[in-house]
Structure 1
Amino acid sequence: MTVTVVKTATATKTATNTSDGNSAKTAARKAAAKKRTKKHAAKRKISRTSLQRAKARRAVKTAEKQIGDPYRYGATGPGAFDCSGLVQYAWRKAGVRLPRTTWSIRGAVRTKVSWGHFEPGDLIFTSGGGHVGMYVGHGKMIHAPHSGTRVRIDKLDAYRKSTFVGAVRPGV
């Protein structure tokens, strides 16, 4: 920064005011840049895992709202579901697109999960891979079981474990 000395008092005062004005503008620009940096840093702090868990919570809540809806083969809701239609609908509401059938869902989702390591939102495949439900926590899953039943929550009991063929974690 170059400083010039001016003989008159008013000229000196004006030069000082101008330089203070520039300092104020520079300080304001720096403060705005710092604020933008903090805002972007906050966005970057959300990990993929945290984002997946948030989507999973939304999918679980959506599925739970469907409790009592009737099972209907091939139905994808709202109002009636088959097993894969229910999980597809719930995850779609959470912002994740899944294929239509149990087989294609299981093959398309890359993150596999073993028995006992489930987190809410994980999709559990049983009955030779022909049935899917969503883990809701506390050893339970929500699913649309079969014709003549309604969407409900059931325990992951010995039967489910004996027919377990795999699980996946969508949204990762």
Structure 2
Amino acid sequence: MNRVAPQFSIALLILLLAGCSSSPSSTDFNTLDSGKNISSYEKGVQQEFLEVYKDWKGVPYRLGGNNYNGIDCSAFVQVAYRNVLNIQLPRTTLAQVSIGNELSYEQVQVGDLAFFKTSRKVRHVGVYIGNKQFMHASTSKGVIISRLDNPYWASKFWHFRRVATPPVVN
């Protein structure tokens, strides 16, 4: 009986560690409901951004691209903002990072921009869609949804910015 307890403990530990392994780099957009109470406005905006995502999902990354043959991260964010919020963002990540207001992680809402420093000089941008997830044009996988808590993205995260002002709900 004493031998069973250690073996069971080891098996349980292995299962727990496997559950804590790194998050996948992309996720299915059907897993976005975190149980967090979000406003009806935010839920509506989330659904509209997901419609844009479905339309562009899998389009390959192409630096300078802005169509279904290939798109880069800032062009994808520009298209999403134009289609969902009717806001014309600047074309480049460098220009996009200079507009709106910087936010803390606690302030982020659906539709805010997520910025990353992927190398010393390279910047990346995506749109936050809730539940620690953002949609973006990945250099390796094209247009996908990724998790902010993925070890790669968490290590490259820079900050959030809010360009669109949500309506005041009384």
Regarding TM over 0.5, the answer is yes
Amino acid at match of 1:103: L
Q: 2:146 and 2:69 mapped to 1: Cα distance?
A: 20
Q: Specify the alignment match of 2:92 in structure 1.
A: 101
Q: Is the 8 A contact 1:63 1:87 kept in 2?
A: no
Q: Tell me the TM-score normalized by structure 2.
A: 0.61
Q: 1:142 to 1:81 in 2, by over 3 A?
A: same
Determine which structure has the larger helix proportion and give its number.
1
Counterpart pick for 2:103 among 108, 113, 126:
113
Give the alignment's Cα RMSD to 1 decimal: 2.5
Shift of 1:143: 1.0
The answer for the alignment partner of 1:131 in structure 2 is: 124
CA change 1:116–1:161 in 2 (3 A) is: farther
**How many Å separate the matches in 2 of 1:171 and 1:50?**
16
1:158 corresponds in structure 2 to 151
1:64-83 deviation digits (Å, cap 9, x = unpaired): 42111111111122442101
Q: 1:73 matched to which residue of 2? A: 63
Long gaps (5+) in structure 1: 1-48
User: Which runs of no fewer than 5 residues in structure 2 stay unpaired?
Assistant: 1-38, 166-170
How far 1:124 moved relative to its partner? 0.5
The one-character-per-residue Cα deviations of 1:112-131 (angstroms, maximum 9, x if unpaired) are: 22224322211111125610
- In structure 2, the CA distance between the partners of 1:116 and 1:77, relative to structure 1 (3 Å rule), is farther
Give the alignment's TM-score, normalised by structure 1: 0.61
What is the distance in 1 between the residues matched to 2:57 and 2:132? 17
Preserved contact between residue 49 and residue 129 of structure 2 (Cα < 8 Å) = no
| Bigger Rg over Cα | 1
Answer whether contact 1:52 1:171 (CA < 8 A) is retained.
no
Aligned length: 122
Percent identical residues: 30
Q: 1:169 aligns with which of 154, 158, 162?
A: 162
